[in-house]
């Protein structure tokens, strides 16, 4: 498909991949609502979870106990609206779309959460597998959901996350079909990105995870497996979000799926030797 373009304030089309993170955030702050896949190439996109201070310890402890599904890249303390991952930015306005939950119920999907902001809100910025997908593609590994133009398929498993205070729930996984000859490479490459889910949690047999039908994901879209593809499963950032929402805090705010925070961190910042 042709490269997408966005129109900036002067009405000249620009390639979203070439935008600096601060430029992308400024467009979203100005009202643009676009999914962020492919934007600001080389910069790390992230999941967002915002909860009141009273729930924040449980979220941080859940993350510490489930590092593969909940890799925290940054935390902004109670009432802090910016931080080093979004220099000069504002977490209340700089994502293209948010989800707002009250008592565990989705009540809005706004482009700005200023109206919900409270001085006791703590912001968690959580790693996203977009980061290692670029590294897989660089190594010649096809990413099925990108090639097929759909969202990555995600599944609730029968594996329980380690619980933390009020937070508990199943591990959610994303799945990428990988040709058998490239599975070892996919493991090796993603293992070098522990801050963005790291190595797979499972290779092969979906039934062991309690997944009965790969064609019926719980979130995202189904993808086709080719002959010789092995389903490979990574821990998924939906895991903490689902656990938080199920604990029904008075207020919880996330990003809308696919409408991520574009941070100032570079993908290479999260590469280990």
- The answer to the question of residue 253 lying near a copy of itself (CB under 8 A) is no
Of the candidate spans 58-66, 142-150, 227-235, 257-265, the one that interacts with a copy of itself by CB under 8 A turns out to be 58-66
What is the closest distance, in whole angstroms, from the C-beta atom of residue 78 to a copy of itself in the complex? 9
Burial class (CB in 10 A: 0-12, 13-18, 19+), 97: buried
Tokens 């106990």 identify what position? 65
Stretch that binds a copy of itself, among 56-64, 90-98, 145-153, 176-184 (CB under 8 A): 56-64
Interface residue with a copy of itself among 86, 100, 164, 244 (CB under 8 A) is: 164
Span from 38-46, 67-75, 148-156, 241-249 in contact with a copy of itself (CB under 8 A): 67-75
Binding flags for a copy of itself, 72-91, as an x/- string (CB under 8 A): x-xx-x--------------
Quick count: other Cβ atoms within 10 Å of Cβ 135?
A: 19
- Residue 237: which residues within 8 A CB-CB, separation 6 or more? 47, 69, 70, 126, 127, 128, 129, 197
Closest alpha carbon to 3 in 15, 21, 19, 20: 15
DSSP code per residue over 30-45: TT-----TTSSTTEEE
Region binding a copy of itself by CB under 8 A among candidate stretches 4-12, 64-72, 153-161, 259-267: 64-72
Q: How far is CA 68 from each of CA 10, 87, 160, rounded to the nearest angstrom?
A: 42, 26, 13
51 contributes a contact to a copy of itself by CB under 8 A = no
Residues in contact with a copy of itself by the rule CB under 8 A: 53, 56-57, 60-61, 64-65, 72, 74-75, 77, 164-165, 188, 191-192, 194, 272-273
């Amino acid at each position: 498909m042709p490269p997408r373009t966005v129109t900036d304030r002067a009405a000249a089309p620009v390639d979203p991949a070439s935008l600096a993170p601060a430029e992308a955030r400024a467009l979203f702050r100005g009202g643009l609502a676009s999914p962020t896949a492919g934007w600001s190439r080389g910069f790390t996109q992230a999941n967002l979870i915002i909860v009141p201070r009273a729930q924040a310890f449980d979220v941080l402890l859940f993350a510490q106990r489930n590092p593969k599904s909940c890799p925290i890249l940054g935390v902004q303390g109670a009432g802090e609206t910016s931080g080093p991952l979004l220099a000069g930015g504002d977490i209340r306005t700089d994502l293209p779309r948010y989800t707002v939950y009250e008592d565990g119920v989705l009540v809005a999907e706004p482009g700005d959460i200023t109206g919900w902001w409270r001085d006791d809100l703590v912001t968690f910025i959580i790693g996203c597998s977009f980061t290692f997908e670029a590294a897989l593609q660089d190594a010649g590994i096809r990413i099925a959901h990108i090639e097929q133009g759909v969202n990555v398929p995600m599944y609730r498993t029968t594996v329980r996350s380690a619980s933390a205070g009020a937070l508990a729930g199943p591990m959610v996984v994303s799945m990428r079909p990988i040709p058998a000859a490239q599975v070892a490479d996919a493991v090796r490459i993603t293992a070098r990105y522990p801050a963005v889910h790291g190595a797979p949690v499972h290779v092969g047999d979906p039934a062991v995870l309690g997944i009965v039908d790969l064609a019926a994901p719980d979130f995202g879209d189904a993808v086709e497996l080719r002959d010789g593809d092995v389903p490979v499963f990574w821990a998924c950032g939906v895991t903490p979000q689902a656990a938080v929402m199920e604990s029904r805090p008075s207020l919880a705010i996330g990003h809308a799926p696919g409408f991520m925070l574009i941070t100032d961190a570079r993908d290479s910042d999260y590469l280990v030797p």
